[in-house]
Chains A and B, each alone.
Chain A
């Protein structure tokens, strides 16, 4: 039983966790949406307010500028301009006193000439008549009433602006005022934005014009580096229609601010109003804190509620769990008490009912187990008995008595009988072979065989071949019929009931098993079955024993035949091992035959014409054997060999001393020879010899021995024949070799002899051509040249024949020395270039760099390569011939490829044979002896390499020479 798996996380924790999760989720979602909406609202409202404030600030600044403009305005009236210069001087001074922002005032006439200049920072000038006509301050008012200059900076820190006002009337002059904008600060400071908000003004480049912190202005701060300022400047340049919005940015103090901008179009300035974000979002934070508190409260409430609920659920479940654990642990008397009145209580009751039912089932099971255990014990008993019997069968297969004894003993005991007997059938009668616990009074009746009549007590079992029982012997037909043996069993042995089981093997009755009781009654089925099993086992034992006996006989026969076979194969081994030496083979045959057929000696005689002479025999110092060794046997009745020679068949003399015709009785007596056997050796119906075996006592050879001896005789014949054939072949091959050597020598001599006069012919021809003997007519010269070329060809043929015959006669010796493969290739290319170009072929040579130095016969290798390249050129009509030489590890590989007609697969071996070309027509057409490849192949082979062709019709050919880089000794040319 497995333990109750402990809960990984209790229900309690799950409840509380669940409740808290749900409440938190609801609150968070609810408040989240709330906060988000209110944030959006607040943002929008703030933005709007901020924007309005910016617009208001812009208006304030604009108003300030307008105020200055208005102050100066009255100097633009025409009548003022017409006044005296003193008057104007006075007025300017007054104006500057009234308006501290104005730093300098200039009066210009209609032509741009300076009439008066009053300044706080310079000398006042009257009537300087300086020309301002090209100054923007003058030009600016030509087409409009008021002109504002861009901001400029004095002393690099104070913002200034020039304001020109045109006088009424066309070209009637102007008043130019330099205005210090530092004083706008007051205007800016007056703008209140929240608690910590502020406003400032920048020009169109983002330069600060006014700021509550005047030092920033004096430092000429560039506000355009603040991203929101930059954005506002860009927006000003863009669409005017777009409603500017408040944005969040970072101010100079690195504070997050909510910023709004409004422009002053006339001056091209921007007024910014900024409020720290903290302050702006203050209401939003309050709302967030409220939400947090509400959340905490909600969670606490949920936890409380969950705790109460969970407790209510968990307690009965724990009771159920503990109860179920006890029931599971085997305590079925335990009952679960849950009084919750709900499904849990129903579950508790179900558990209780289940426990009751289990209790009942267990009680039933125990009864059944007890009954089964008893049966099992009996079965075990029976099996043990069976096992013991089988063990006995296996252990003593020959001796049946212990098996039968054990069967009776166990059968009697297990079937609750008193005694038992076992009969086996012998012809028509039954003989008792085992008994157990027989009452002494019966013993004298058991010596006799039992008849198996139908009226006997065992008759029914024997005839039906099935078990038969007699429940009350006194009432049985056999008893009533007066079967004597049965009456003895009943009357003297006290048998009142009996069971007979036949032992049947393959439908045949082979015995009978009977058990007896002293009381009347039926044998139970299980007893009948058990006895049937025992009867089967008895049959197995009998069969086993029979098979074993048979097996033993067979294996004895087999080992004998194996001995014969081994001997035969030994002889065959000797025959095949010494094919050229007859005597040891025949001696082995004789020795083996003698040993195997229990003969004293054995000897073999071979026929020579009409006589038979000793050839081999076993080692022996028998005078008989010594004598026959020297004799010639002729056909005749006086000797065994003579008789066999006459009749041609196997013969035996059982006792030589008793044979009237036998003529060597004294010799036989000396050697103690009595029985003689002779086996003819016959090949293709002709006798070639005789094998003779002797015995020193009179005992005929058995048929089996004769059979074996015939086999040996046949083997002797084979051996003789083998040796004869072998000798013949050896002689023939020796003659062949000699003939071949003679041929090669002849060829070598002949070619040399042919060359000498040919050289003379060629030499004379050349002298003639060279004009040594005087000038020749052209026709004669032509003929001579053809004579010379034919002679050269003939010389080539003779040289090749000479080479080949030298190779065949084993006279060609390689001169092994170091060589450079690249040099060989170069030589060959140089020699064949002209041939190739004459046929319009491309000749290419690719030699790998850094080839190792080779060791071999340079001249012969060059000859091979020359032959291959020459062939390639000869047989290729268009295209190219390519030589590729590379080294692969310890070998050189030289490939000669062409784009010629190719060689069919079936011709590829033929071309390497002597005097072979692809076909005779090509020989005639292309010339050559057809010896070149044969010679090349042999030369390569003598280097321990190989010459291979790869080709197909229409695909060109590649001849590949593969040879060791370093040849240390000349190989046989195959």
Chain B
């Protein structure tokens, strides 16, 4: 059974790119467009990995991650934070929120794929 990856991202284009990329190499991708939905889908679907954008409407990525990580049922799912401002301190914040990895925007699809493969094999 192929691995499932939850991508929480509000920009359609970015979702499209990630979708095309991941499906082309055989992953299954599920999507959420804001932080709140992201938490919901994660709880419901229990994906193998979550790519969490940080700047999200309704609930931002840090908060969403905190919620996922405070839930017994979803705690184990690795979360990779994707930040758009590559500001110093973002990485620390991401770790503080419970993220397991960190990817600064702009990233190239190759970079993303490498990171995902490192997590899921």
Contact = CB atoms under 8 A, between A and B. Distances in A.
Interface of A: 752, 755-760, 762-764, 766-767, 770, 772-773, 795, 813-815, 857, 859-860
A759 B109 contact: no
Interface in B82-106: 84-85, 87-89, 105-106
B110 interface: yes
A814 B87 CA distance: 9
A813 B106 CA distance: 20
Contact of B24 (A772, A814, A815): A772
A258 to B, nearest CB: 111
B84 A756 contact: yes
A763 B13 CA distance: 9
Contacts of B88: 813-815, 857, 859-860
Contact of A760 (B17, B24, B85): B17
Given A767-B109, A815-B89, A759 B14 contact: yes
Contacts of A766: 108-110
Contacts of B109: 763, 766-767, 770, 772
Interface of B: 11, 13-14, 17, 20-21, 24, 84-85, 87-89, 105-106, 108-110
Contacts of B106: 755, 758-759, 762-763, 795
Contacts of B14: 759-760, 763
A773 B17 CA distance: 11
Contact of B13 (A755, A760, A859): A760
A813 B24 contact: no
Contacts of B110: 766, 770
B100 to A, nearest CB: 21
Contacts of B85: 752
B109 to A, nearest CB: 5
Contacts of A760: 11, 13-14, 17
Given A815-B89, A860-B88, A763 B17 contact: yes
Contact of A813 (B17, B89, B105, B108): B89
Contacts of B105: 755, 759
B84 A763 contact: no
Contacts of A770: 109-110
Contacts of A758: 106
B89 A767 contact: no
B21 A772 contact: yes
Contacts of A860: 88
Q: 6 smallest A-B Cβ distances: which pairs?
A: A760-B13, A815-B88, A763-B17, A759-B106, A772-B24, A766-B109
B20 A773 contact: yes
Nearest to A858: B88
A766 B84 CA distance: 19
Nearest to B22: A772
9 contacts: A752-B84, A756-B84, A763-B106, A766-B109, A767-B17, A770-B110, A813-B89, A857-B88, A860-B88
B108 A763 contact: yes
B108 A756 contact: no
A764 B84 CA distance: 18
A767 B11 contact: no
Nearest to B23: A772
A758 B108 CA distance: 12
A757 to B, nearest CB: 7
A763 B15 CA distance: 11
A767 B21 contact: yes
A857 B14 CA distance: 31
A757 B16 CA distance: 13
A766 B85 CA distance: 21
A268 to B, nearest CB: 111
A831 to B, nearest CB: 15
Nearest to A815: B88
Contacts of A773: 20
Q: Which of B11, B87, B109 has the most CB of A within 10 A?
A: B109
A813 B14 CA distance: 28
B90 to A, nearest CB: 10
Contact of A764 (B11, B17, B24, B89): B17
A755 B105 CA distance: 9
Contacts of B11: 756, 760
Given A756-B11, A815-B88, 19 more contacts: A752-B85, A755-B84, A755-B106, A760-B13, A760-B14, A760-B17, A762-B106, A763-B17, A763-B108, A764-B13, A764-B17, A766-B108, A767-B17, A767-B109, A772-B21, A773-B20, A815-B89, A859-B88, A860-B88
B13 A767 contact: no
Contacts of A756: 11, 84
Contacts of A762: 106, 108
Contacts of A755: 84, 105-106
Contacts of B84: 752, 755-756
Contacts of A814: 88
B82 to A, nearest CB: 11
Q: Which of A752, A763, A813, A815 has the most CB of B within 10 A?
A: A763
A762 B13 CA distance: 11
Nearest to B12: A760
Contacts of B89: 813, 815
Q: Which of B14, B105, B106 has the most CB of A within 10 A?
A: B106
Nearest to B13: A760
A772 B20 contact: yes
B4 to A, nearest CB: 19
A813 B90 CA distance: 12
A848 B67 CA distance: 48
A758 B14 CA distance: 11
B46 to A, nearest CB: 27
A770 B109 CA distance: 10
B24 A757 contact: no
B85 to A, nearest CB: 7
A766 B108 CA distance: 7
Nearest to A755: B106
A857 B110 CA distance: 28
A163 to B, nearest CB: 120
A935 to B, nearest CB: 14
A814 B89 CA distance: 9
Contacts of A813: 87-89
Contacts of A857: 88
A762 B112 CA distance: 13
Contacts of A759: 14, 105-106
A184 B87 CA distance: 125
A814 B20 CA distance: 37
Nearest to B25: A772
A11 to B, nearest CB: 108
Nearest to A799: B86
A949 to B, nearest CB: 27
A860 B87 CA distance: 10
A857 B92 CA distance: 14
Contacts of B13: 757, 760, 763-764
A752 B110 CA distance: 22
A135 B81 CA distance: 122
Q: Which of B17, B21, B85 has the most CB of A within 10 A?
A: B17
Q: Which of B13, B21, B88, B105 has the most CB of A within 10 A?
A: B88
A762 B106 CA distance: 9
A255 to B, nearest CB: 108
Nearest to A806: B87
A773 B20 CA distance: 8
Nearest to A857: B88
B94 to A, nearest CB: 14
B84 to A, nearest CB: 7
Nearest to B111: A766
Contacts of B20: 767, 772-773
